[in-house]
Structure 1
């Protein structure tokens, strides 16, 4: 039996090494504010401990001290993560404004914990063990809790023969692009940090929120209390499994989808072909009725879709959700190419005009995302991206053996994309399904054919 929680050894708060941004008040964009009821982003890296095996206690302490110092230096560039959320309200005229207060905060949280399990105990089971959720701070917290909780926690969990570094970041502050840029920078600083705080980072974040013309710098939300938009979702029991797709398997899936699409004048990417495959397989094993709605959605980075585009290093949320809607019968009666074409066309149409139209719709009727309104029996939704540099983060420990996630934003039909641990263009899909659907998926022939190809 796995323990329900890991043992806390110590904790502290880390402030930025440079106080320049510490007094900043940072207003939030619609893309940030709509996340107030979502969960923190929780992704982490699992390493083997062999580089620290000699004089273990001193080595671990030295590693922790260096990581804390590197975090302080990195936060000088990513100072919003060291702040706290704050809300300012007035009655006459009505005002309800949520922002980041960088001056009234003890900083980011740093946690050291320990668990008597091995790397094999974590990676060998077919399903991701539930104990992994406790490798991250702010378990089940929603982003609005960042009023009292840290906006960032770095948790180092010692295993018997490994180290897990889990990052919990408030989704009102950063999207996946910004989140991994921060982790990439922290790893870079760690490698170069030999008692020198004047480190030049390779990709400085671009701070300052983007607002559409004639709007900003803050948004007055139509609420008087957070109880009006906070709803803590409790989903059903889930099975979580990571499916590994090799480069050869992806090439075959892509070639098949494009061959089926050749008369449509559409070119399908590997990711769109894989998404279509998962969408079809999950829909099939769910046993939906013919006229039941089947939906596939994915998050897209809209920095380059805006005209003029935003810098790729823009720090904050810059994502929207796009996808395709059909019926279960239409999806399954057509082939893989048809499904891939639906996704490809939806993503291609999400240009500057579509981005701004969605934004203006939100401004006219601000909505805080609610899980109960999003989750439905026919939904498959992908988050994260295999394009993020996850395995390039080493922290003096060598290459990670796995990327794992916490409790964050998981529901029946949620998939999280990672670059494959094999490298070479492979992709890992971390998929959550209710138990009987997962069991059926593991026997689905279309999926097995794709996975077994090498």
Structure 2
């Protein structure tokens, strides 16, 4: 089967929240500096592969849409639109999210000649090109949320399976909130609209920096009417592969990393140990000179780190990035434990004070995230702690999780739980030459395997 395989769009529609009330449900959400950072970025994309329903009479599309409508009543910010204000007095622009019940884009597609095995066992282990067409919002930027939905759903029916892809703007959600939403949507769908339980009201992020006037004013030049895609231009050929770390691999790496540092520092987590191992292995295969500066960014949930802390499940975009910097020479003069401990300390430095300082500085000098300018870096996104395999819509649990092409760049690593408890899978995007070397690196493959 070639990459030109057709994915046919059967229908497009808008799903709105159930029983939306203009008077009581319409609220305005102001955006924080770490929301506005993403204004020029593409939507993120996550997806799940499911088996086909065993009953051929099962019509999943109406069921998914009706349950989605109920879920959007709870997760009302997802059915909103972005509003841009032109401030003529000083030539700036401001933005807020209008919870107006406009709904989300829902795409029903068919890929009847593609089977689950094409996704699960791709040729030469490279994530297949056709997978990109299983996701909505490819190439859509958060600024386009003025007219487009801030999240979108695509359901693609395969020969023997179903792929549900979600695209979402970081203006309203992050990985924590999108998986919470998916868990509740799937529960409603599983139980049927007539057997729903009462869900607690959504807790929305209510944290703002003292002394900042909202909505925040930004130079109009930062947010043109027709923005360029941020972070996708690249002169190198990028490819993606999935690497699996078994619970045994992870235990070995975690023990090795903690064994190489002082007793007082033995707090290196599984993800930190795996991230350090991936970082070292990628750099080793990148032909960089010893003096070159290298970075590792690890996404951090801010909710419980603020003072006062937010609810751990509160809805919104609450991610920071712990950035660890060193040189190639320094990395290889030291061991795995040293690199993992540097990551550990970067994560620990993500404090309430750091966030407040970042926010205050950003308001004085607004800027947008641009991953295309970053070199010699990896960025570990998502989390193996997310409840990925609890998303049963009523015909079976997911078989695998995948990320879409949104915000893809050289060095992006998406971490998921594996289907076997304790496993971690890393969807790895690198230049094709580095990825080829990594895939045949005997030292790397002692603790990882190509999926």
Q: TM-score range by the shorter chain?
A: over 0.9
Q: CA deviation at 1:287?
A: 0.8
Is 1:3 aligned with 2:4? Answer: yes
C-alpha distance in 1, partners of 2:184/2:331?
42
Question: Are residues 1:370 and 2:370 paired?
Answer: yes
Cα offset, 1:228, TM superposition: 8.8
Assess, with a 3 A threshold, how the Cα gap between structure 1 residues 171 and 5 changes in structure 2: closer, same or farther: farther
The change in CA–CA distance for 1:265 and 1:139 in structure 2 (over 3 A counts) is closer
- What stretches of structure 2 of length at least 5 have no aligned partner? none
Deviations 1:62-111 (CA, angstroms, capped at 9, x unpaired):
x21111111111101111111111201121244411112233x6411111
Aligned residue in 2 for 1:42: 45
Greater mean deviation of Cα atoms: 394-403 or 217-226: 217-226
* Alpha-carbon distance change, 292 to 228 in structure 1, aligned in 2, over 3 angstroms: farther
Query: Structure 1 residues 28, 192: closer, same or farther in 2, change over 3 A?
Result: same
Cα distance, 1:356 vs. partner? 1.5
Aligned equivalent of 1:418, options 412, 416, 420: 416
Give 5+ residue unaligned stretches, structure 1: none
Task: Determine if contact 2:191/2:394 at 8 Å carries over to the other structure.
Answer: no
Deviation at 1:448, TM superposition (A): 0.9
Q: Return the alpha-carbon distance in structure 1 between the equivalents of residues 19 and 348 of structure 2.
A: 42
Cα shift at 1:379? 0.2
Query: After superposition, where does 1:18-417 map in structure 2 within 5 Å?
Result: 18-20=19-21, 22-52=25-55, 54-55=56-57, 59-60=58-59, 63-103=60-100, 106-115=102-111, 116-125=113-122, 126-195=125-194, 199-201=197-199, 204-224=201-221, 226-227=223-224, 230-232=227-229, 233-235=232-234, 236-262=236-262, 265-373=265-373, 375-376=374-375, 378-417=376-415
* Cα distance in 1, alignment partners of residues 281 and 74 from structure 2: 43
Decide which moves more: 339-348 or 91-100.
Answer: 91-100
Q: Distance in 2 between matches of 1:160 and 1:179?
A: 27
Q: Encode CA deviations 1:90-136: one digit per residue, 9 max, x unaligned.
A: 21244411112233x64111111001210001111111111111111
Task: Sort the Cα spacing of 1:428 and 1:341 in 2 relative to 1 into closer, same or farther, 3 A.
Answer: same
Aligned match of 1:433 = 430
TM-score, normalization by structure 1: 0.93
CA distance in 1, matches of 2:226, 2:10: 36
Q: Deviations over 1:235-292 (max 9, x none)?
A: 3321111111111110000001111113663421111111110010000100101111
Partner of 2:15: 14
- Contact preservation (8 Å) 1:83, 1:101: yes
Task: Determine if contact 1:8/1:114 at 8 Å carries over to the other structure.
Answer: yes
Quote the Cα distance in structure 1 between the aligned partners of 2:67 and 2:324.
43
Return the alpha-carbon distance in structure 1 between the equivalents of residues 396 and 65 of structure 2: 19
8 Å Cα contact 2:87/2:94 also seen in 1? no
Deviation at 1:4, TM superposition (A): 5.8
Distance 1:27 1:309 in 2: 19
SS of the counterpart of 1:76? helix
RMSD after superposition: 1.9
CA contact (8 A) 2:258 2:265 kept: no
In 2, Cα distance between the equivalents of 1:51 and 1:212? 52
Aligned residues: 441
Residues 129 and 204 of structure 1: CA distance in aligned 2, closer, same or farther (over 3 Å): farther
Give me the TM-score of the superposition, normalised by structure 2: 0.93
Contact kept in structure 2, 1:229 and 1:368, CA below 8 Å? no
Shift in Å, 1:35? 0.6
- Cα distance, 1:24 vs structure 2: 2.4
Distance 1:204 1:246 in 2: 38
Matched position secondary structure for 2:130: helix
* SS of structure 1 residue aligned to 2:194: coil
Superposition deviation, residue 421 in structure 1: 1.6
Deviations 1:376-415 (A, max 9, x none): 1x10110001111111001012111110111111111110
